A and B are shown apart, each in its own frame.
Chain A
Amino acid sequence: MRSRSPWLLLLPSLVLMAALFGWPLVQAVLAAFRDEGGFTLAHWQRLLTDPYFLPALRNTVLLIVIVLPVQLALAIGMALLVQARPRFIGGHFYLWCVPLAISELAAGLVWLSVFDNRGYLNSLLVSLGLSENGVQWLSYENTTTMLLTVVIAEIWRATSLVFVIVVAGMQVIPRDYDEAAQVFGASLGQRLRHVTLPLLMPSLQVALILRTILALQAFAVAQALTGRDFPLLVGETYEWYVNLRNPAVSSAVALVVLALSLGTALLYLRTVRQPEGAR
């Protein structure tokens, strides 16, 4: 009885996950490689010749490559500020965490009010006399400014998650190490480089990989800001399924996202979980 009972408790969750994750996963793979006549690569050909696919792939990767380092640096800086225990830190902490609960779509709409042609940023620029009619931030001709707006919105929305992970990681580092380094005359930069950051490494890795997986799934920010002018991979799945009514190609795009995520997740398991178990 004793040895059987944990599996009895685990069983419902296993069944539900098998039904809602396992089965659809198999179906998705089948759908992407099959049509009425059996095995086919036609969906992939259609996808690869689609003018939106490669830009979407490029934008998704570009977004991750730009956003992640900025977020990591910003989050470490914010965590160090918390560590310094300034006044009103409770209020600051609350504000810095609010984006945790804000959805991608809402974040996109928030920044739309700023970057819109007649939005707050252009209003500011014009009233300061820096620009005559404002900048067309979200115009499809300006790929760079579109990227910039999506990058800013993503940094705003998702830095909180990295921040919370880094702060939690910093709290378990004993203060003695830092104080010892201080006693021996290490400067702030030296202490950061040789004491805090190495000890923080596990948290940083987790944050990095979790954010990569989540950033691969980003689409609503870009959708709210630019529509399809700034395509992202998951946005393409949505487009193929909801607007073009083609589940097969939609599944194919989804599999690309899956492959990228699984690659990251494996990296996660190899680099992060193992040392933790070895400790």
Chain B
Amino acid sequence: MTIDVRDPVRPAPMLPPVDVAPLRRARLRATGVQAACVAVSLFMALPIVLIGLAAVSSRAALAEFPKPLVPSEFALDSLLSFLRATGTLPALGNSVLAGLYAVFWSLVVGAPAGYALARHAFRGKDAYQMFILLVRALPIVVLSVPLATMFLRLDVYDTVLAVTLVHTALALPTTVLITASIFVSVPADLEEAAQVFGCTRWQAARRVVVPLALPGLAASSIFTFVLSWNELLGATVVTLGHRTLPAQVLTSLAEASVAYRFAGGFALILPALLFIFVMRRYLLNLWGTTLR
């Protein structure tokens, strides 16, 4: 900001003295805004730091009371014993598999529907969109119990496939909405140009639209993966032995030690930090606009 309006070459004309009060007020305001930002950031970040510290405390440090903020002794044994506890590693594998399968199937089934919504005007479009919105409002809790019965009968109960199906269904409405908004932003002209040059409809979609939509599709995939990684109730109800990680932690809570709980909580949070970091450019569009 330049307040100095005098020209250095010519002698200064008679100017009234500069009023610095507004400037001072602006600076004060900026400080206040920054202080408020720091306060909110502390509220959001401090609990994560605390559970992180708890997870890397040694058993002795964890049992101390009153606890110092920084643990008196660091050790990885809580995290290691959480990883070595029965069921943790297989559950981690199940979680990753179910997440990847759910991403794949929700894209395979949802992206064409999103494309149809973006490119075609047809009768029943409003009805379809209304249907999607209603499905989003259905709580998973209503579906999980009958789904468990259904899966028992179909002999897929307690498998990764069962969890995948539940998570795909949950992610489908959001995938359709997100992919529709992505395909809208890819100009139809390009697709038509490809067709003019001899591509079939399918080739035009595959060679022109998909590459352009790829970043958005990746964001949508991460969204689905996060949903699957965090979903708890459905995964707990349709499995018994082959749990996903959150389901495993939830069902072990009752008899778990404090160290197990903190290590488990921290392990569940770590991917979240990464997801949000990767997604930070898409956050506003995804959660803020498309999915409202």
B276 interface residue, CB < 8 Å from A? yes
Give the number of residues in B that approach A within 8 Å (Cβ atoms). Answer: 97
Contact with A along B32-65 (1 / 0, CB 8 A): 0110111011011101101100100000000101
Q: Does A92 contact B40, Cβ atoms closer than 8 Å?
A: yes
A142 interface residue, CB < 8 Å from B? no
B283 interface residue, CB < 8 Å from A? yes
Pick the contact of A110 from B43, B50, B275, B279 — CB < 8 Å?
B50
User: Bound complex: CA of A205 vs CA of B156, how far in Å?
Assistant: 40
Q: Which residues of B lie under 8 Å from residue A258 when comparing CB positions?
A: 138-139, 142
Pick the contact of A264 from B50, B137, B146, B249 — CB < 8 Å?
B137
A25 interface residue, CB < 8 Å from B? yes
> Which one of A33-41, A63-71, A80-88, A178-186 is at the B interface?
A80-88
B144-174: which have CB < 8 Å to A? 144-150, 165-166, 168-169, 172-173
Q: Which residues of A lie under 8 Å from residue B122 when comparing CB positions?
A: 3, 6-7
**Known contacts A97-B283, A164-B283; is A110 also within 8 Å of B44 by CB?**
no
A216 interface residue, CB < 8 Å from B? yes
Q: Which residues of B lie under 8 Å from residue A257 when comparing CB positions?
A: 139, 141-142
Residue of A nearest to B42 (CB): A95
User: Bound complex: CA of A267 vs CA of B236, how far in Å?
Assistant: 31
Residue of B nearest to A90 (CB): B280
B133 interface residue, CB < 8 Å from A? yes
Nearest Cβ distance between residue B103 and chain A, in whole angstroms? Answer: 15
A202-225: which have CB < 8 Å to B? 203, 206-207, 210, 213, 216-217, 219-220, 223-224
Q: Which residues of A lie under 8 Å from residue B50 when comparing CB positions?
A: 110, 113-114, 120
Q: Which residues of A lie under 8 Å from residue B269 when comparing CB positions?
A: 102, 106, 110
Q: Does A217 contact B165, Cβ atoms closer than 8 Å?
A: no
Q: Does B133 contact A16, Cβ atoms closer than 8 Å?
A: no
Q: Which residues of B lie under 8 Å from residue A95 when comparing CB positions?
A: 41, 44-45
Q: Does B168 contact A16, Cβ atoms closer than 8 Å?
A: yes
Q: Does B66 contact A109, Cβ atoms closer than 8 Å?
A: no
What would be 27 A-B contacts, judged by CB atoms less than 8 Å apart? A6-B125, A9-B115, A12-B108, A13-B110, A17-B169, A17-B173, A20-B169, A24-B147, A24-B150, A101-B272, A102-B272, A103-B268, A109-B264, A109-B265, A109-B268, A112-B261, A113-B47, A113-B54, A118-B258, A217-B233, A224-B261, A227-B254, A238-B141, A255-B142, A261-B139, A262-B137, A265-B137
* Residues of A near any B CB (own CB < 8 A): 3, 5-7, 9-10, 12-14, 16-17, 20-21, 23-25, 27-28, 31, 77-78, 81, 84, 86-89, 91-106, 108-114, 116, 118-120, 122-124, 126-127, 134, 156, 160-161, 164-165, 167-169, 171, 203, 206-207, 210, 213, 216-217, 219-220, 223-224, 227, 234, 237-238, 241-242, 247, 250-251, 253-255, 257-258, 261-262, 264-265, 268-269, 273
* Residues of B near any A CB (own CB < 8 A): 30, 33-34, 36-38, 40-41, 43-45, 47-48, 50-51, 54, 63, 65-69, 108-110, 112-113, 115-116, 119-120, 122, 124-125, 128, 130-131, 133-135, 137-150, 165-166, 168-169, 172-173, 176, 226, 229-233, 236-237, 246, 249-251, 253-254, 258, 261-262, 264-265, 268-269, 271-273, 275-277, 279-280, 283-285, 287-289, 292
